[in-house]
């Protein structure tokens, strides 16, 4: 650029400005390529948006293809004995639960000490659980304070948790407390021995709480559990035992609202996909702006696949054959509309047929699987969207290569102009110098001849 800055010094002409104008004119050759590249990038972005809408619809279809979607249940609890949560394997019905006692964990405290940081001396803490699991925690002489014993126990195993409490006693307030990590008899501590440590640690039997299993009954059948969270007493229900000597009634019913929501979510996902497809391919005559994929062959193929999916998909082995049988109709703009009352009636009175239509059976493929197969092919790594996107990326690569070649050509052209301008500048400078010399000589001659 230093040579450009020197242009025009000899001639007095604005050769730098002229060179910049010529370079700008040359770079206009890049504008169509930049516009074409931007167009391809916009199409790649549009393919990504289309892919996202297809994936959301694919997820909604997948949900309707699962039998458990149509087995959705809800639970209601009357009473304070328990809380409950139901999953799709729960059987609708009523269950009477009575809680006699809750599960408890083992707990015991040692006799108090005056200082929790004072070393007690070497030794060990030995204990055995009711299930036979045994632990022996060694305590070193130089790390034998009550705090060290606590840390050693917690580091060595996870069946028992050690902590230190201050009971407020004026002389010996610090106690080591051991709690079993789980509730239930098997997790309780059956034997506990403190060896060594100056004989200062010993169990305070008055503080000992024995481990216990929960005792409860379901519909009169007596049961017990090591935990207050019970998963297997009633199939499909998780019970959380809450209060002793209390009763509760758990009512499990089919959750028709959740099933209807799954169908409505499917419709919403499709309508979102339909809206995306329309926006990408439409032309607005008022704004004279077209969608990013207006006239795109890949988009037309997606539209064709979606139309055939709704017009040609037939479900065998169900009382329903088409979506319209469920109260789902297509509008003029291609979107779906749900007749909520008809869907509610179908869910209440023909749930098995609704499940067969969407989820199919061992013999017949349902609407979900058939439609999902179409979307899967579109979204496959070698499918329409992926190949179209790769095509645009390849086109951008070719444009970038053309831009690089054009940049080289422009640089050469500008360099040629620069060389020519430098020669012109030098020539005009020489001519100006000669002109000045001749003018000077004429002035001298005129002076000698007395003409001035």
pLDDT tens, 42-58? 899 999 999 999 999 99
Q: Alpha-carbon distance 310 to 328, whole Å?
A: 11
Q: Alpha-carbon distance 330 to 336, whole Å?
A: 5
DSSP state of 111: P
Contacting residues for 5 by C-beta, under 8 A, at least 6 apart: 16
Structure confidence by residue, pLDDT tens digits, 311-345: 777 788 778 888 888 999 988 888 999 999 999 99
Question: CA 313 from chain center: how many Å?
Answer: 32
Q: Positive or negative, the Cα torsion across 116, 118, 120, 122?
A: positive
Of 20-34, 178-192, 254-268, 410-424, which gets the smallest average pLDDT?
Answer: 410-424
Higher pLDDT, 5 or 152: 152
The CA-based angle 154-156-160, given to 5 degrees, is 50
Query: 0.85 exceeded by the pTM?
Result: no
Q: Alpha-carbon distance 397 to 355, whole Å?
A: 49
Q: How many helices (H) and strands (E) does the chain have?
A: 10, 19
Closest C-alpha to 91, from 228, 258, 254, 298: 254
In the structure encoding, which two tokens stand for residue 378, read together?
């579109």
- Kindly indicate the confidence band of residue 442, based on its pLDDT and cuts at 50, 70 and 90: confident
Q: Alpha-carbon distance 379 to 367, whole Å?
A: 18
- Kindly indicate the confidence band of residue 3, based on its pLDDT and cuts at 50, 70 and 90: very low
């Amino acid at each position: 650029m230093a040579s450009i800055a020197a242009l025009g010094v000899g001639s007095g002409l604005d050769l730098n400005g002229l060179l910049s104008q010529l370079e700008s004119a040359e770079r206009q050759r890049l504008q169509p390529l930049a516009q074409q590249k931007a167009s391809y990038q916009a199409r790649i972005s549009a393919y990504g948006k289309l892919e996202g809408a297809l994936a959301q619809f694919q997820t909604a279809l997948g949900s309707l293809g699962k039998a458990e979607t149509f087995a959705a249940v809800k639970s209601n609890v009357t009473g304070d004995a328990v809380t409950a949560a139901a999953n799709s394997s729960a059987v609708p019905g009523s269950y009477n639960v009575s809680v006699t006692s809750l599960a408890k964990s083992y707990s015991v405290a040692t006799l108090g000490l005056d200082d929790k940081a004072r070393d007690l001396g070497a030794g060990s803490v030995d204990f055995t659980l009711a299930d036979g699991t045994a632990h022996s925690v060694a305590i070193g002489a130089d790390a034998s304070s009550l705090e060290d014993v606590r840390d050693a126990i917690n580091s060595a195993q996870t069946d028992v948790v050690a902590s230190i409490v201050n009971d407020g006693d004026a002389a010996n307030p610090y106690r080591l407390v051991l709690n079993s990590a789980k509730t239930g008899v098997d997790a309780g501590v059956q034997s506990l021995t403190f060896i060594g440590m100056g004989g200062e640690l010993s169990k305070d039997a008055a503080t000992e709480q024995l481990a216990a299993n929960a005792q409860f009954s379901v519909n009169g059948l007596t049961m017990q559990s090591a935990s207050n969270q019970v998963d297997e007493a009633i199939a499909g229900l998780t019970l959380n035992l809450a209060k002793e000597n209390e009763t509760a009634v758990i009512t499990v019913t089919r959750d028709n609202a959740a099933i209807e929501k799954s169908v409505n979510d499917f419709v919403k996902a499709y309508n979102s996909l339909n809206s995306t497809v329309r926006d990408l391919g439409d032309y607005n005559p008022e704004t004279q702006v077209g969608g990013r994929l207006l006239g795109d062959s890949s988009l037309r193929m997606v539209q064709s696949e979606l139309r055939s999916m709704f017009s040609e998909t037939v479900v065998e082995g169900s009382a329903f054959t088409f979506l319209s049988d469920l109260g789902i109709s297509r509008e003029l703009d291609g979107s779906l509309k749900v007749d909520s009352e008809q869907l509610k009636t179908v869910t209440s009175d023909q749930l098995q047929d609704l499940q067969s239509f969407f989820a199919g059976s061992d013999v017949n493929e349902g609407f979900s699987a058939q439609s999902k197969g179409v979307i899967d092919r579109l979204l496959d790594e070698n499918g329409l969207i992926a190949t179209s996107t790769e095509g645009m990326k390849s086109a951008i690569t070719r444009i970038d290569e053309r831009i690089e070649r054009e940049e080289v050509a422009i640089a050469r052209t500008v360099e040629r102009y620069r060389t020519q301008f430098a020669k012109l500048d030098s020539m005009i400078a020489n001519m100006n110098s000669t002109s000045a010399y001749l003018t000077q000589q004429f002035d001298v001659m005129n002076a000698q001849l007395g003409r001035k």
